[in-house]
A and B are shown apart, each in its own frame.
Chain A
Amino acid sequence: AQKITQTQPGMFVQEKEAVTLDCTYDTSDPSYGLFWYKQPSSGEMIFLIYQGSYDQQNATEGRYSLNFQKARKSANLVISASQLGDSAMYFCAMSPSGGSYIPTFGRGTSLIVHP
């Protein structure tokens, strides 16, 4: 069984500052993928970034980077230079490889960016 834990129900950050959203996971699968999704108030979940368990380098996508620490089973999302439009819910998710690839989601973190 897989489990995703997001311990921060809410986070606040000043515009233009960087913020880290925490995610830890638990799995017995040797190969898996880690994802972050953003859900603005409109409701649609938007894919942000992906990290494979065997990837040697941390994933980056524009202002988003994933701080992957495999031994600690953590996959924190770092948003640099926060913008007001970054205010949203953020969900961490994990998919095993093999037959059951369907992702498990965390409870999410609400991020508010202050001007």
Chain B
Amino acid sequence: ETGVTQTPRHLVMGMTNKKSLKCEQHLGHNAMYWYKQSAKKPLELMFVYSLEERVENNSVPSRFSPECPNSSHLFLHLHTLQPEDSALYLCASSHGGQGASNEKLFFGSGTQLSVL
């Protein structure tokens, strides 16, 4: 199995739909992240969980709702999205978030989201 697995790989949804993105890591890491990658924009950090507690919430609209039931799983629940939310959503994990500056991230392949 790959280290970080994201499903689905592609998602098309209407503005009134509710859907969820799933991320699972098999690396024994304690920190998990959601990033948004739009065309022509830098990678945007959305949420960070460390030991299942949310430690970062980067002014993300409430139509995005994260959930971290355990250290291996991370979800991003989506509802009433806008077309500008169309992007690649990347999940990542890292060892433990102990404040070390050498904390490298392990990424999944992402979910390409299109909002119609």
- A18 beta carbon closer than 8 Å to chain B: no
CA distance A45 to B6 in the complex (A): 13
Q: Total contacts A to B, CB within 8 angstroms?
A: 61
CA distance A84 to B82 in the complex (A): 38
- B115 beta carbon closer than 8 Å to chain A: no
Query: Are A50 and B104 closer than 8 Å at their CB atoms?
Result: yes
Q: Which A residue sits closest to B58, measured CB to CB?
A: A102
Q: A102-B45, A106-B42 are in contact. Are A47 and B106 (CB under 8 A)?
A: yes
Query: Are B110 and A44 closer than 8 Å at their CB atoms?
Result: yes
Query: Are A52 and B109 closer than 8 Å at their CB atoms?
Result: no
Task: List residues of A (13-55) whose CB comes within 8 Å of B's CBs.
Answer: 31-33, 35, 37, 42-47, 50, 52-53
Interface size on B, residues (CB 8 A): 25
Task: List residues of B (42-80) whose CB comes within 8 Å of A's CBs.
Answer: 42-43, 45, 48, 56
CB < 8 Å neighbour of A44 from B41, B45, B108: B108
Tell which of A44, A50, A105 has the most Cβ of chain B within 10 Å: A44
Query: Are A101 and B92 closer than 8 Å at their CB atoms?
Result: no
Q: A42: which B residues are within 8 A, CB to CB?
A: 109
Query: Are A95 and B90 closer than 8 Å at their CB atoms?
Result: no
Q: Select the stretch in B11-19, B21-29, B95-103 that faces chain A.
A: B95-103
Q: A47: which B residues are within 8 A, CB to CB?
A: 104-106
CA distance A45 to B56 in the complex (A): 21
Query: Are A105 and B101 closer than 8 Å at their CB atoms?
Result: no
Output the least CB separation between A50 and chain B (Å): 6
Query: Are B100 and A101 closer than 8 Å at their CB atoms?
Result: yes
Task: List residues of A (61-115) whose CB comes within 8 Å of B's CBs.
Answer: 91, 95-99, 101-103, 105-108
Query: Are B101 and A32 closer than 8 Å at their CB atoms?
Result: yes
Q: Which A residue sits closest to B94, measured CB to CB?
A: A101
Output the least CB separation between B98 and chain A (Å): 8
Query: Are A45 and B101 closer than 8 Å at their CB atoms?
Result: no
CA distance A46 to B42 in the complex (A): 16
CA distance A105 to B42 in the complex (A): 7
9 A-B residue pairs with CB within 8 Å = A31-B101, A43-B88, A45-B92, A50-B102, A53-B101, A101-B98, A102-B56, A106-B42, A107-B41
